[in-house]
Copies of this chain bind each other. A is one copy, B any other.
C-alpha cells in the first residue's frame, strides 16, 4: 500500500512559473519538454511506487515548474478511480458548534492533502443520506457526517444504507454523534457530561432544576436531559418534570422556552439548557423579565462555545473539545481499519462560572 499522496510536490515557490499560459499544460507537455515518456513524467511528478532515476526526476520537475504544470484533478481522480475529497456534512455551517468542528476537520484534512467539501442539511436529517449519496457519485474518498441523531427509524435506516453503499464503493465514513450505526464513530459523552455538571451544581448548593430540553426527537438533547436527571438524583437534588420544557435547539428556542417557564411561575432555581446558545437565549429572557440573574435564577449550558465565553454573567457549561472532535474524526478516517466499527469517546469537562454561584459560600 503506497501512501504517496498525490499532493503536488512542486515546491510552493516555483521560481519562474508562467501561470498565465492560456491552454492548460498537460503532463504530456511536461514529458515532451523534458524528453521522457508520459509514464516517466507521471511517476516523477507524483510519488509513484516506481522509482525514477534522479537526474530524470529532476529534469521532469524542472520542466513542470517551468511550464507551470498543474495536475488535472478530475483526470487523476478518474484514472485512480478515487478523488482526494473528504465530504463533510453538517446541519448548519453558521452554527458555531458545527463551524468549530468543521475547522478541526478542515485542518486535519488539509494536513493530509485532502480537499474538504461541505454540505448542509438545514436540520433536515433526511438530507444527510442524500449528501452521502452525492458524495459517492463524486467518488469522494471519505465522508464525515456530523449527525442530528433523530429517533426517526426510517431516516436512520436510509442513512445507514447510504453509508454502507459508500463504504462498499471503497470510501471511508465516520459519523460524529450517532453511535447507533455500524460505522466508525466519534461520540460525545453527553449523558456523562450532563450528569457531572449537575453533580457539581448540587455540590454548590443548587437543588431545584428546570431544564430547557430542546426538541423531543433529538437524541443529543435527550441524552443530556437524561444526564441532568441522573446527576440531580445522585446529588440529592431533583429535576421536576413540570419544569422540563421542550423547544428549538437554538438561541430563540431557549429564549422562548425560558419565557414560558417564567410564565408558569418559575422564579427561583437553576435552569439547565441542553446547549449554550439556548442558555444564552434564556439569559436574555431573564434579563427582559427583570429576574435577578444569577441571584434568583442560575443558568448553565452545554458545549462551551467560544464566542459565548464573554456573556455576563459568565456561563457555566460543559466544555466540548469541538475542534479536536473534528480532527479525531479525520484521524479515524485515515487510519487503517482494524476489525469492526470503532468508536472514539470524547468527554466534556465541567466549567463552573458565575452564572451558577456557589450557594453555600454566600
Q: Residues of A at under 8 Å CB distance from B?
A: 8, 12, 19-22, 24, 70-75, 77-78, 83, 85, 92-94, 96, 99-100, 102-103, 106-107, 110, 115-120, 130, 133-134, 136-139, 161-162, 164-165, 168-169, 251, 277, 280-281, 283-284, 287, 305-308, 310-312, 323
By the criterion CB–CB under 8 Å, are B83 and A94 in contact? Answer: no
- Chain B residues with Cβ below 8 Å from A168 are 20, 22
How far is A329 from B174 in the complex, measured between Cα atoms in Å? 32
28 contacts between A and B (CB under 8 A): A12-B130, A19-B133, A19-B165, A20-B168, A70-B133, A72-B78, A73-B83, A74-B77, A74-B78, A77-B78, A93-B93, A93-B99, A94-B96, A96-B307, A102-B118, A103-B120, A106-B118, A110-B119, A115-B119, A116-B118, A116-B119, A117-B117, A117-B118, A251-B310, A283-B310, A305-B307, A311-B311, A311-B312
How far is A72 from B74 in the complex, measured between Cα atoms in Å? 10
- Chain B residues with Cβ below 8 Å from A78 are 72, 74-75, 77-78
Q: How far is the CB of A117 from chain B (nearest CB, A)?
A: 5
- A100-B94, A310-B284 as given contacts; A72 in contact with B106, CB under 8 Å: no
- Chain B residues with Cβ below 8 Å from A136 are 70
In this complex, what residue of B is CB-closest to A113? B134
How far is A117 from B85 in the complex, measured between Cα atoms in Å? 9
- A110-B119, A138-B74, A283-B310 as given contacts; A161 in contact with B103, CB under 8 Å: no
How far is A139 from B134 in the complex, measured between Cα atoms in Å? 19
Q: How far is the CB of A177 from chain B (nearest CB, A)?
A: 18
Q: Which of B77, B103, B251, B310 contacts A94 (CB 8 A)?
A: B103
- Chain B residues with Cβ below 8 Å from A130 are 12
- Chain B residues with Cβ below 8 Å from A162 are 19
How far is A115 from B165 in the complex, measured between Cα atoms in Å? 20
- Chain B residues with Cβ below 8 Å from A308 are 307
- Chain B residues with Cβ below 8 Å from A22 are 168
How far is A78 from B81 in the complex, measured between Cα atoms in Å? 12
- Chain B residues with Cβ below 8 Å from A74 are 73-75, 77-78, 83, 138-139
- Chain B residues with Cβ below 8 Å from A8 are 137
- Chain B residues with Cβ below 8 Å from A19 are 133, 161-162, 165
